[in-house]
A and B are shown apart, each in its own frame.
Chain A
Amino acid sequence: MGITLPILILAIPVAMFLILGIGGVFMSRKTAGVLGILGMGTTMTLAYIVAFTYFFSGSPEFIVEGVRQQVQLFDVTWLAFTQKLVVNIGFILDPISAMMLVVITTISFMVHLYSWGYMEHEPGFQRYYAFLSLFSFSMLGLVVATNIFQMYIFWELVGVSSYLLIGFFYKLPSAVSASKKAFIVTRFADLGFLIGILVLSYYSESFNFITLTHNPESVLMSTGGATFMGCSALTWAMVLIFVGGMGKSAMMPLHIWLPDAMEGPTPVSALIHAATMVVAGVYLVARMFPLYCVVDASLTFVTCVGAITAFYAAVVACTQLDIKRVLAFSTISQIAFMMVSLGVAYDRPIEGIHYTGLGYMAGMFHLFTHAMFKALLFLGAGALIHAVHSNNYTKMGGLRKYMPITHLTFLIGCLAIAGIWPFSGFFSKDEMLAAMFANHWFWGAWMTMVAGLTAFYMFRLYYLIFWWDENPEYAEHRPHDAPWQMSVPLIFLAAVSCVAGFIPFGELVTWNGEPYHIHIEGAVAATSLTVAVLAIALATVMYRKKNEWPARVKNMWPGLWTAAYHRFYWDEIYMFITHKIIFGGICRSIAWFDRHVIDGAMNGMAWITQKTSFAIRGMQSGQIQAYVLWYFLGALLLAAVTWLALI
């Protein structure tokens, strides 16, 4: 494969960004929208061509003896600091990057199309499309990065795009603070990423993924047994890199920005905060997976963080009122699912069966299916918000009669996420749970419980929106289905969610390129399906019609409910830490030091100068003779000193 296609895939979005960003003000909305959609459509087509060539052409460039290869389509030196410290820009093609190309361009195209209807009446329409293009460019650059540093650059770029898009309604204070929060929290996490990169490249003397991942043992050797606080340097590096992923992927305790990021336009939430950017952390771990494998501790860390986050987010999602927040916590929970899946995937034969890479494959599979159905759910939520002009589901209810398309597609999304056969979520979730059970029964049981919770809160949401009790306001403002630009993406994504499970994913995306044959584990599948069905049944009982059950359950554990509703006070904890401890304690003392010691020193100098000047200002008498006298005596003194020095 030449380099034209890969360069075009990156160049078209960035060109669109420049054209729409600079020329947007001179364009009508229609021109800008059509341009953006066409640009993204072209990119999508090219990305499909690349991905299909990679997976199905069978060319020896990409597949050797049944093993898929990692190929750098190009890799040019960009910054050469020293002989060894070289930053490249390139385009890597391997199973996960090809898959991500498909995911990103598909979702991005759908969102472009959807936004044409959704954002039609918003001011700044052209700017919006420019930012969408910027984001697409950054995300594509991130997934095709050939080296860790390029990834870091694009990592920050997606952060910026996310910031710009969350704060798109910049006149709303809440949007502004949400964008700042997202940026600061992820930026804070990226500090860990950067330090991790530095530690890793310090020892391995390379940024390149292929160099690093093809020989993880030698990277481990190169650290020469350097340890810090009982863990090896490589463990630290990988954990720190994972901290960057935690920030982007909203893992506990850095998840606080994602629910607030829902202040952005809903299609943006679908694109960035559900399908693509937030899985960058998962992608990062997957990209460096062989390195994680050689240091088990870091993978265990990934697993623990994922498991805690998944459960936490699922519990919180059960109590939220804002449909986008429910979806946001659901996203956190599902991404955590993928993290756990990656975390349990390391090389260890159990009872004779070699499960290596099952979790990896399953996590990637879930990344794919989740991107589709979560984007579908968000876009559906957008259609609902578009119809009833509120994020809050107390303003909804009984909408199934008014919005049949939205209802059906949303139901498909809910079934997919709940893991009901034959929707896509079932297959990926089943593989993940199988991998977890294979690692340890505890992870399997724990995550099955989370899967049950997922089914419960998704159907709670579904019933509260589409069943429950009709909002009387519908009489004056009758909700209706969205225009075609919004319906087409919904239908498309729903269709994908229906059939994506039957993709032979194991043949395509595995950690080492060798195909993995997926086989449904009967026991695991039955368990998870049973749990999901029971959870859905419970949700049906509680929320199908207006009744007293929800209130009764709520009153059964009021403390728990309130805590979950307030997201277990994580924001308050952060507020306490930042405001009370950092601002109040550290900053105030520093400010005191600055004001009294540093300023005091300066003021003291000024005071001394002033006093001295007042004391000696009588010397400026205006009498030339006095001046001459002083001058003459000074000159004499100088002469005497010089003379003495010469002698």
Chain B
Amino acid sequence: MDSVGNIIVYFIVALAIVVFSVLAVKSKRILRSATYLLFVLLATAVAYFQLGYQFLGAVQVAVYAGGIMVLFVFSILLTHKPDDKSGTIESHRRVLGIVASAAGAVLLLFALFYMPLPHDTSLAEALAGGPQITMHDIGEAFVGSNRFQYLLPFEAISVLLLACIIGGVVVARKR
């Protein structure tokens, strides 16, 4: 039995995710669309916090809701002239889109409900099932080379980010 607080938070998060996802893809204005995305990301971050992954939630807020959103906003501003209808965006192929997404959703929901998942585990039990993850654990997981330790992917990611920086500069620089 979960606490009422958790349930309330959950409903807020779920509602935010559903509503703002829909809005993010339905909104006519690109800037609004980006803002709705921000809300979705933030709601996801809250969900992470609630699931007990504080560091992940922080990263989500900092990188996604912070960094990536800034990139979006900048790019929107860079690619829309002020005298435009300030970023009205159009849609097409709506029926196909609905069919595709509905089909996907239906299939996934079927899968979810028919798979032998532990439907009766509550969040409190799940949280009690594992230790609190500290920064120390995460740090060790990232720079170790044993089983369940990720030095190599970590380094690969850092190289990838470097490549992205260089690539971004090269692609976007003025000729």
Contact = CB atoms under 8 A, between A and B. Distances in A.
A and B touch in the complex (CB under 8 A): yes
Interface of A: 625, 629, 632-633, 636, 639-640, 643, 647
Closest 5 CB pairs of A and B: A636-B107, A632-B100, A636-B103, A636-B104, A629-B100
A633 B100 contact: yes
Contacts of B110: 643
**Max chain A C-beta neighbours (<10 A), residue from B97, B103, B110:** B103
Contact of A632 (B93, B104, B114): B104
A179 B93 CA distance: 77
Interface string B75-111: 0000000000000000001001100100110010011
Interface in B142-163: none
A633 B99 CA distance: 10
Interface of B: 93, 96-97, 100, 103-104, 107, 110-111, 114
A639 B103 CA distance: 12
Given A629-B96, A632-B104, 18 more contacts: A625-B93, A629-B93, A629-B97, A629-B100, A632-B100, A633-B100, A633-B103, A636-B100, A636-B103, A636-B104, A636-B107, A639-B107, A639-B111, A640-B107, A643-B107, A643-B110, A643-B111, A647-B114
A624 to B, nearest CB: 12
A162 B110 CA distance: 83
A639 B114 CA distance: 14
Contacts, number: 20
Contacts of B96: 629
A633 B104 CA distance: 8
A633 B96 CA distance: 10
13 contacts: A625-B93, A629-B96, A629-B97, A629-B100, A632-B100, A633-B100, A633-B103, A636-B100, A639-B107, A640-B107, A643-B110, A643-B111, A647-B114
Contacts of A647: 114
B113 to A, nearest CB: 12
Contacts of A625: 93
B105 to A, nearest CB: 10
A637 to B, nearest CB: 9
Chain B: interface secondary structure? helix
A605 B96 CA distance: 34
Nearest to A635: B104
A629 B99 CA distance: 10
Contacts of B103: 633, 636
A633 B100 CA distance: 7
B50 to A, nearest CB: 29
Nearest to B110: A643
A647 B111 CA distance: 11
Nearest to B92: A625
B103 to A, nearest CB: 6
Contacts of B97: 629
A223 to B, nearest CB: 73
A56 to B, nearest CB: 89
B64 to A, nearest CB: 22
Contacts of A633: 100, 103
Contacts of A629: 93, 96-97, 100
Contacts of B114: 647
Nearest to A632: B100
A643 B93 CA distance: 29
A546 B114 CA distance: 117
Nearest to A623: B93
A61 B96 CA distance: 100
A636 B111 CA distance: 12
Contacts of A636: 100, 103-104, 107
Nearest to A633: B100
Nearest to B93: A625
Contacts of B111: 639, 643
Contacts of B93: 625, 629
A591 to B, nearest CB: 54
A647 to B, nearest CB: 8
A643 B110 CA distance: 10
Contacts of A643: 107, 110-111
A360 B64 CA distance: 106
Contacts of A640: 107
A95 B175 CA distance: 98
Nearest to B103: A636
A629 B101 CA distance: 10
Nearest to B97: A629
B82 to A, nearest CB: 28
A636 B104 CA distance: 6
A629 B95 CA distance: 12
A625 B100 CA distance: 12
A472 B107 CA distance: 110
A635 to B, nearest CB: 9
A640 B106 CA distance: 11
Contacts of B100: 629, 632-633, 636
B97 to A, nearest CB: 8
A636 B110 CA distance: 12
A647 B116 CA distance: 12
A227 to B, nearest CB: 73
Nearest to B108: A639
A640 B107 CA distance: 7
A625 B91 CA distance: 12
A647 B97 CA distance: 29
Nearest to A630: B100
Nearest to A628: B100
A640 B96 CA distance: 19
A324 to B, nearest CB: 84
A639 B110 CA distance: 12
Nearest to A639: B107
A43 to B, nearest CB: 75
A55 to B, nearest CB: 87
A54 B6 CA distance: 115
Nearest to A626: B93
A629 B98 CA distance: 11
A638 to B, nearest CB: 11
Nearest to B104: A636
Contacts of B104: 632, 636
B116 to A, nearest CB: 12
A513 B24 CA distance: 110
A630 to B, nearest CB: 10
A182 to B, nearest CB: 73
A211 B114 CA distance: 80
A640 B104 CA distance: 10
Nearest to A625: B93
